[in-house]
A and B are shown apart, each in its own frame.
Chain A
């Protein structure tokens, strides 16, 4: 009994220290002991459980989760939905009585919907360098914290084009050019998040009123639509192993996964003029049962350890610019300097109209 109590007290002290550290903005400098203890009393989170809602691509090394639980005394439970769209829907439908305390994985294509429905509470986490530029506009900036980013870009199987002695495409226009007929695979905009991002990239490129013509040309040029990224990349793309189309809509990180073991070079490349940046956010839920611990989770996602694990775990870039990327990434995952952009508010205002028009064009 005594031993048990002692251990418990130690854990609380450790937790309190950790909470102090995290609450004081991830900074060791300038927080003395008295301040730390004061902080801990304000947030009695040790011994509680916090639930993180996310999508099925979320993954985190067990070691880091254990460390988090040890440092804070909080048990972290993860509940995942299939994708960002389903996650957003579930959060909105359950906003009065949420099934989690904190959510991660809503991206800039779904953010406005969640913000407008008041799903997220205000919490301004201390951002690492590099993250500030990825915040949303307006009041959403204080509710959703950027955690990672990756851009959806057209990918090309360079090996295929070299073998067949043909020129590679370089732009959106090329994909609708008869020279590259029947060579493109695209995941659907209504059924996959990279598909939607690609549609947005074309809308940003060609503008309202002209993107429809582009898509008519694209479909007329034999582009193949499939349900999700998997079907397009593994089912249709030559670089993914199964398919017979050398052009696919994927990510700027994808070339880091197609390295030829003999040459040490990647066999695919992303076209950096065809990109749309997806930023994934985390936020504390309005009506959360354990908001104090929820904030700790947001901070945890921004911690250097978690940020450093993102490329290997979730195939995305960390927002923290100090993190050193894995060697393959540094070499082959080249990021666009000037991605196409559509604001989150614009997306929310036009989503239905754009997707309906898109569906009409592609299923004609």
Chain B
């Protein structure tokens, strides 16, 4: 009974801040005059363009997912099982793209692959491959962390036995290692697919308009064509795909070994590891190159080298609401709020879904709840953003004009990451330990403190750090809320990019470098806590 009460909190929060706004927008599209009108929505689904957009979304996301997995799995092996100098630094570096705002990633890739970039000879400027590459860049960390975490806690004796029996390294991987990692790989892949399929800013900036995905199409239909029924239809379509995928991920996770805190023994690199090491090098290069091009651009002014762009970060510009430094302050404050919200909710959810179920119905219910909190990952940020404005404007929930709206939106984005970090850890605690504590006379709170908290505090701090970094870089949900005159750094960078004057562009790039630096520092601290699988799925 206590658990039901505990579950009620997060469910209510998600109901108000997710279900309500999204259904408000769907309502505007499907019930325009208080009557269910499906004809225009159905008409949209039959359009040739819709099919093309759906097709493009699916293939580009599938290609990016495949690429991320193919590159990510060997990278995970190299960085988590081998003794490679600087592995921790590389692991930290890989996470930076994941928390960079999409506008910045778009700019970075354009700097690199565009008509004036050093890699223009590849001719990838406006091709779908640029989008695929950027998506891999963005999501590599998800696969590396999830799979790497699972790999770290994997007993190496099975594959050693296979090798002793004469299996080649590839055979040993296929027979002994892969089956044990399959859950983690499928789970990571489905989340990557979700991120790709709902990517917005990335596709807008890199697609050169020639390529539309469902998400950009929803944006176009809502803000330019004012075709709400069509937008609602596409949003529903997206939703169906997302729910299907979450179900797949859930099934895959069921076979996953709960993370046990095995002290990982890393071994020296041998010749057969070469492919994995090469893959890790390629992965690192894919991340380093765009970030490097940003860094180089930030110290270039009028064809020469200069730190002027950085000097301008704190200088007041009359045409902008805040300086970059002030915006960073706003971002940090917003991130603090978003973090405690995400952590509070995430802990509650994780506790609820990991407690031992006493019946099959109860287990299924917990599974559903677990999936429910993953939903914010897969729904259109456009729909959610406009929905916030429409649905949360009247009592009892009049938050539209509140400064808390932005942290709440960001907390929703970070919530699934917190849940996914904590659930395996909590699930790995043997329930008998709690029972023993109880039989020795400890109350429920005391049990929580001595058993759960002792194991969970480190992952908890790590999850909080991750939520903090994600919130720092969050742009999508923040961008669709009307904002007051205290912009966050990603929003200010976006504004800077839109202002005439070459120095604004330079300042924007310098601001992006600053943001990347701050997020990387946060991630580095998280990395130092050495929690397996933080930021993984």
Contacts and interface: CB of A to CB of B under 8 A. Distances in A.
Contacts of A94: 389-390, 393
B483 A79 contact: yes
A332 to B, nearest CB: 13
Interface string B498-519: 1111100100000000000000
Contact of A257 (B222, B389, B498, B501): B501
A171 interface: no
Nearest to B497: A230
A312 interface: yes
Contacts of A90: 386, 389, 482
A191 B114 contact: no
Interface stretch (A10-18, A39-47, A132-140, A234-242): A234-242
Contact of B115 (A196, A244, A253, A355): A244
B406 to A, nearest CB: 12
A336 interface: no
A236 B225 contact: no
B484 interface: yes
B162 interface: no
B225 A352 contact: yes
A184 B483 CA distance: 35
B455 interface: no
Nearest to B496: A230
A361 B333 CA distance: 46
A313 B321 CA distance: 11
Contacts of B209: 188, 190-191, 225-227, 362-363
Given A56-B498, A79-B484, A224 B225 contact: no
B505 A224 contact: no
A262 B208 CA distance: 35
A242 B212 contact: no
Interface string A87-110: 011101110010110000000000
Nearest to B297: A242
B226 A89 contact: yes
Contacts of A191: 204, 209, 220, 224
Contacts of B502: 234, 240-241
B459 to A, nearest CB: 37
Give the most central of A78, A231, A254: most B CB within 10 Å. A231
Given A99-B389, A234-B502, A313 B484 contact: no
Nearest to A228: B498
A196 B224 CA distance: 10
Interface residues of B, number: 51
Contacts of B484: 77-79
Interface string B359-399: 00000000000000000000000000010011001100000
Contacts of B450: none
A188 B219 CA distance: 14
A70 interface: no
A230 B480 contact: no
Interface string B293-332: 0000000001000000000000000111100000000000
Contacts of B227: 352
A89 B28 contact: no
Given A89-B222, A190-B220, A313-B318, A225 B497 contact: no
B225 A229 contact: no
Contacts of B28: 93
A86 B495 contact: no
B110 interface: yes
Contacts of B225: 351-352, 355-356
Interface in A213-251: 224-231, 233-236, 240-245
B204 A227 contact: yes
A303 interface: no
B208 A61 contact: no
Contacts of B224: 85, 190-191, 196, 351, 355
A168 interface: no
Give the most central of B207, B224, B495: most A CB within 10 Å. B224
A82 B479 contact: yes
A283 to B, nearest CB: 17
A242 B482 CA distance: 31
B205 interface: yes
Contact of A231 (B110, B480, B482, B483): B110
Given A61-B318, A352-B225, A224 B208 contact: yes
B494 A56 contact: yes
B37 interface: no
Interface string A44-68: 0000000101001101011000000
B485 interface: yes
A230 B498 contact: yes
Contacts of A88: 223
B394 to A, nearest CB: 7
Contact of A226 (B49, B208, B211, B400): B208
B115 A236 contact: yes
Contact of B500 (A80, A97, A257, A355): A257
B337 interface: no
Contacts of B386: 89-90, 93
Nearest to B495: A56
A143 interface: no
Contacts of B500: 233, 253-254, 257, 315
Give the most central of B220, B302, B319, B497: most A CB within 10 Å. B319
A59 B210 contact: no
A208 to B, nearest CB: 19
A57 B499 CA distance: 7
Contacts of B111: 242
Contact of A363 (B212, B393, B401): B212
A113 interface: yes
B293 to A, nearest CB: 12
A92 B223 CA distance: 10
A75 interface: no
Contacts of B400: 99
Nearest to B56: A363
A81 interface: yes
A349 interface: no
Contact of B321 (A59, A85, A226): A59
A314 interface: yes
B126 interface: yes
Given A312-B318, A313-B319, A85 B208 contact: no
B116 interface: yes
Contact of B114 (A235, A240, A254, A352): A235
Contacts of B208: 224-227
Contacts of A254: 500
A243 B116 contact: yes
10 contacts: A56-B494, A59-B321, A78-B485, A80-B483, A90-B386, A93-B386, A97-B394, A230-B497, A254-B500, A355-B225
Given A79-B482, A359-B49, 20 more contacts: A79-B483, A80-B482, A80-B483, A82-B494, A85-B224, A89-B222, A89-B386, A93-B389, A93-B390, A94-B390, A100-B482, A226-B209, A227-B204, A227-B207, A227-B208, A257-B501, A313-B319, A352-B225, A352-B227, A363-B210
